[in-house]
Amino acid sequence: MDETFTQAFSSEVQQCPLRTHWVSFRLVDEFGNGAPYAGLPYQLVDKQGEKYTGLLDGDGYALIENIYCGPALVALPERYEGGDQWYEDLIDRKNYALPITALQVAAEQTLRRPADQPSPSPTRAAREKGEFYRVEVRDLVEVGSHLPPASTILSPRPSTVLAASTGRAQETTAFGVALAPNKHHVLEVKALRAWRPLLSLTPEFSALDAYQLALLTNLAYADFGQVFKAGQPLPPKYPVPGTVGHVLNARLGNIQTGKLNEEPNQFGAAKDFHPILEDVPYSKRLEVVPYDPQRYTKEEERKQPWERHSLNDLDTNTQAYISHDDRMILIGIRGTQENPPDLWRDIDAAQVPYKEGVGQAHQGFYKAFLAVKKFVTPYLDNFYTGQKIVVCGHSLGGAIALLLAEWIRREFEYDVLLYTYGAPRAGDKAFVEGATALAHHRLVNHNDPIPSVPATWMDTDKRLMLTGAAALITGTTGIGGAAFLAGVANFKGDAYQHHGTQHHFLPLAIGKGEETSVLWQPDCQGIEDAACAYYANKVGAADMPDRAAFITQLWSISLHFMATGYVPACHATLLRWKASSETPPGTYLTARERQWLQQEIDSYRRNLEAWEQQAWRRYDVAHRHESGSVASRREDFERSIGRASEERQRLPRTLRRIETLAQQRISKTQLYGAQAENPQLESLVARWQEHERNKPSKTPMHARLPVSNQPQYA
């Protein structure tokens, strides 16, 4: 056909000097319907440069008569004026204002045709005796830098030779789709849609948010992944799987066919994990700002996309990324990846005033927070339009995330939601009490030592309590080998404290080579701080660990990872809760798990009682003949005994929680939060479970995980 067009329109002799010709076209969606494009303004430029304007009729049709002979360019470049506040904000924002057209909004409101469903559009074109082409929004508008890259799989496409024959192909202002004269055309417009992770975003905990945000947290460990050369005409590309740009731009923001294999399946180092996705209008995706140096020339717009969206602060070894959609501004912060001296610097530091609020904060975390604060401030200024602020972080990044989230809540009075994974303590009692209004869900793996640092014996003047002692849990059902530091205290200022609601992953061996992971709130320190106490006791001489050896061991054991610990644990919990909610009795614990947990807590109680007796005997033997310091040492021992006693007093509450979990049914709200009421939820989860890793047949009710030798770490 291109050769025919070339022969027909390459010679000036063939052109008619009179306006005696016509052209018609119809825009349809992927289901062959023209109604979504009814009333849109169009413009057509004929061979002689004459412009014709009008409105598409109620079925997306236009007939333009009395035009000069030759191919014509049709376009729909008119700005959106429909009144939707989200689009108006994008069009009018002070930096990176988007040239959104009425056509773009209309295409965003259409749906994608399933890949296995044939399109009725070619049949409609044949019935109307017209030419049929598939087009994208970028084909019909003047500016496309904010739109997805041009598709390489659409077919049939409009003729490029015909476009060149219009006589305006070399004009920098020319744009549009070329139509042949005296012919009708049916143009199927590709739906302008994107994927985005399904989230609840309520203050209450949900298994959905825990899993989805675990993936997005792990993404903070990845580079942005751009391939870019300054001055090149094409926008940057993000080809490396698992990088921030690849996930947000190449996968979530660029649906081609909608097939399962096009979904993102790698977030940083977490491979073969898939988020539950919803299909949304393209403008409501997690945005990566456009690269268009000719259009965006203001000082605030000169940053490249990766400079706007990602932070890599070398002074504090802090890495983060930020993006947004119409629901939220998302901030992900990674932990440290460096060697033991860097880890030591981060977790063994003095307390400093938290100037953005109240109380004291950890010095190393606070310095890193200041770097992230500087990074996110202009982003909030540019892109906040009333969304929820969602902050997530892992390890030391979780501590930074806490300081950041509390600052945003106080400074701007925005609605903030925080999820952290394996986060250490970041502030003192005053800070924690001052941040009680911050919604924070803190997920902790039983075998992860980092949440227990800074330990209470890491006080600011670096003194240790010499009378500290450890009570070991020696049960046999899965928790065995943990330890509780019973006599450790901070002598200078308030001790570091945890903030937020803890959610504890507890592994339980259920058979040879198998274990289950229970997500609960144990409410006893020996369980919550088991991993840190285990290693502190293991490396220590007498009752107390040597701190340098302890820190080195924490790092060298390579335990505390998102990709191999928290992401799989959250994934297993989501599958487990879903399966349990669909299988009677649908409770959090099976009868076996209930019995094992009760035995474990009873074993712990007996060991604490035995430790108290042994501690007093050791005291009597060691200090029977001493004088002078006996009274002070006795006071120290009484403090240790008192701490162990307080721990024993917490155990009945833990037992009651076990009873509650054994009787409490898992609800859809606890699974999916606010999305439990989403009418599309069932279909979205069903699609998610088409992935091999998520198939129900692959998921026993209690999401069993492989057992490794105790202690097991994330």
CA distances from 625 to 467, 621, 629, 630 (A): 17, 8, 11, 9
pLDDT (0 to 100) of residue 324: 98
Q: Which amino acid is at 177?
A: V
> Is the domain of 347 the same as that of 220?
yes
Q: What is the dihedral of CA 685, 688, 690, 693, to 10 degrees?
A: -120
pLDDT tens profile 683-701: 999 999 999 999 985 544 4
pLDDT (0 to 100) of residue 540: 52
pLDDT (0 to 100) of residue 166: 73
Tokens of 612: 């108290």
Q: Let me know how long the chain is.
A: 714
> Is the domain of 138 the same as that of 232?
no
Distance from C-alpha of 338 to C-alpha of 227, rounded to nearest angstrom: 26
> Is the domain of 152 the same as that of 231?
no
Tokens of 206: 């949900």
Distance from C-alpha of 229 to C-alpha of 423, rounded to nearest angstrom: 38
Distance from C-alpha of 197 to C-alpha of 220, rounded to nearest angstrom: 16
Cα torsion angle, 120, 123, 124, 130, sign? positive
Nearest CA among 345, 356, 293, 296 for reference residue 317: 345
**191, 225, 253 — which closes off a domain?**
191
CA distances from 312 to 208, 224, 227, 291 (A): 29, 10, 17, 20
Number of H helices, E strands in the chain: 21, 26
589 within a domain of the structure (yes/no): yes
Widest pairwise Cα distance in the chain: 121
> Is the domain of 229 the same as that of 150?
no
pLDDT (0 to 100) of residue 592: 85
pLDDT (0 to 100) of residue 169: 54
pLDDT tens profile 131-188: 999 999 999 999 999 999 999 999 999 988 888 877 655 565 679 999 999 999 999 9
pLDDT (0 to 100) of residue 706: 38
pLDDT (0 to 100) of residue 165: 76
Give yes or no for a contact between 138 and 147, defined as CB atoms under 8 angstroms apart: yes
369 band by pLDDT with thresholds 50, 70 and 90: very high
| Mean pLDDT taken over the chain | 85
Q: Which domain, by its residues, includes 73?
A: 2-191
pLDDT tens profile 264-280: 999 999 999 999 999 99
| 58: phi then psi, degrees, rounded to nearest 5 | -65, -10
Strand order in the sheet with 318-324: 310-313, 318-324, 328-333, 388-394, 416-421, 439-445, 501-511, 514-520
Q: Count the neighbouring beta carbons within 10 Å of the beta carbon of residue 231.
A: 6
Give yes or no for a contact between 399 and 365, defined as CB atoms under 8 angstroms apart: yes
Distance from C-alpha of 496 to C-alpha of 342, rounded to nearest angstrom: 20
Distance from C-alpha of 458 to C-alpha of 342, rounded to nearest angstrom: 16
pLDDT tens profile 438-489: 999 999 988 788 887 776 555 444 333 334 556 666 555 555 556 676 655 4
Give yes or no for a contact between 394 and 417, defined as CB atoms under 8 angstroms apart: no
pLDDT (0 to 100) of residue 5: 45
The region of weakest confidence among 255-269, 493-507, 540-554 is 540-554
362 within a domain of the structure (yes/no): yes
Model pTM above 0.85? yes
Nearest 5°: CA angle at 272, between 266 and 276?
80
Beta pairing, strands 266-267 & 427-428: unpaired
> Is the domain of 321 the same as that of 375?
yes
Tokens of 185: 């055309």
712 band by pLDDT with thresholds 50, 70 and 90: very low
Q: Is the pLDDT of residue 105 over 50?
A: yes
> Is the domain of 141 the same as that of 186?
yes
Tokens of 150: 């041009």
pLDDT (0 to 100) of residue 651: 92
The region of weakest confidence among 67-76, 225-234, 482-491, 692-701 is 482-491
Distance from C-alpha of 601 to C-alpha of 586, rounded to nearest angstrom: 24
Relative orientation angle of helices 591-623 and 630-663, to the nearest 10 degrees: 180
Distance from C-alpha of 542 to C-alpha of 607, rounded to nearest angstrom: 18
Q: Is the pLDDT of residue 385 over 50?
A: yes
User: Cα-atom radius of gyration of the chain, to the nearest Å?
Assistant: 31
Nearest CA among 173, 193, 190 for reference residue 75: 173
| Domains identified in the chain, total number | 2
pLDDT (0 to 100) of residue 607: 82
Determine the distance from the C-alpha atom of residue 567 to the mean position of all C-alpha atoms in its chain, rounded to a whole number: 11
Residue 525's CATH number: 3.40.50.1820
Nearest 5°: CA angle at 76, between 73 and 80?
165
> Is the domain of 167 the same as that of 268?
no
Nearest CA among 540, 538, 530, 523 for reference residue 478: 530
Nearest 5°: CA angle at 697, between 693 and 701?
95
* DSSP 8-state class, residue 461: T
120 within a domain of the structure (yes/no): yes
| 48: phi then psi, degrees, rounded to nearest 5 | -95, 5
Q: Is the pLDDT of residue 679 over 60?
A: yes
**191, 222, 239 — which closes off a domain?**
191
Q: Is the pLDDT of residue 345 over 60?
A: no
Distance from C-alpha of 706 to C-alpha of 547, rounded to nearest angstrom: 32
Determine the distance from the C-alpha atom of residue 193 to the mean position of all C-alpha atoms in its chain, rounded to a whole number: 19
The region of weakest confidence among 89-98, 249-258, 517-526, 567-576 is 517-526
- Give the best-scoring range by mean pLDDT among 425-429, 518-522, 675-679: 675-679
> Is the domain of 220 the same as that of 282?
yes
pLDDT (0 to 100) of residue 338: 55
335 band by pLDDT with thresholds 50, 70 and 90: confident
Distance from C-alpha of 569 to C-alpha of 576, rounded to nearest angstrom: 10
199 within a domain of the structure (yes/no): no
Q: Is the pLDDT of residue 543 over 70?
A: no
Distance from C-alpha of 61 to C-alpha of 119, rounded to nearest angstrom: 19
Distance from C-alpha of 328 to C-alpha of 391, rounded to nearest angstrom: 10
Nearest CA among 394, 392, 406, 609 for reference residue 499: 406
pLDDT (0 to 100) of residue 89: 94
Compute the average pLDDT of residues 242-256.
96
What percent of the chain shows pLDDT beyond 90?
60
Distance from C-alpha of 516 to C-alpha of 703, rounded to nearest angstrom: 6
Q: Count the neighbouring beta carbons within 10 Å of the beta carbon of residue 535.
A: 22
277 within a domain of the structure (yes/no): yes
> Is the domain of 180 the same as that of 245?
no
Strand, helix or coil for residue 257: coil
Q: Is the pLDDT of residue 616 over 60?
A: yes
66 within a domain of the structure (yes/no): yes
Helices (H), 85-206: 85-92, 102-108, 121-127, 137-140, 160-164
707 within a domain of the structure (yes/no): no
> Is the domain of 110 the same as that of 250?
no
Give yes or no for a contact between 467 and 638, defined as CB atoms under 8 angstroms apart: no
> Is the domain of 219 the same as that of 81?
no
pLDDT (0 to 100) of residue 19: 85
569 within a domain of the structure (yes/no): yes
> Is the domain of 472 the same as that of 516?
yes
pLDDT (0 to 100) of residue 452: 79
Compute the average pLDDT of residues 202-217.
98
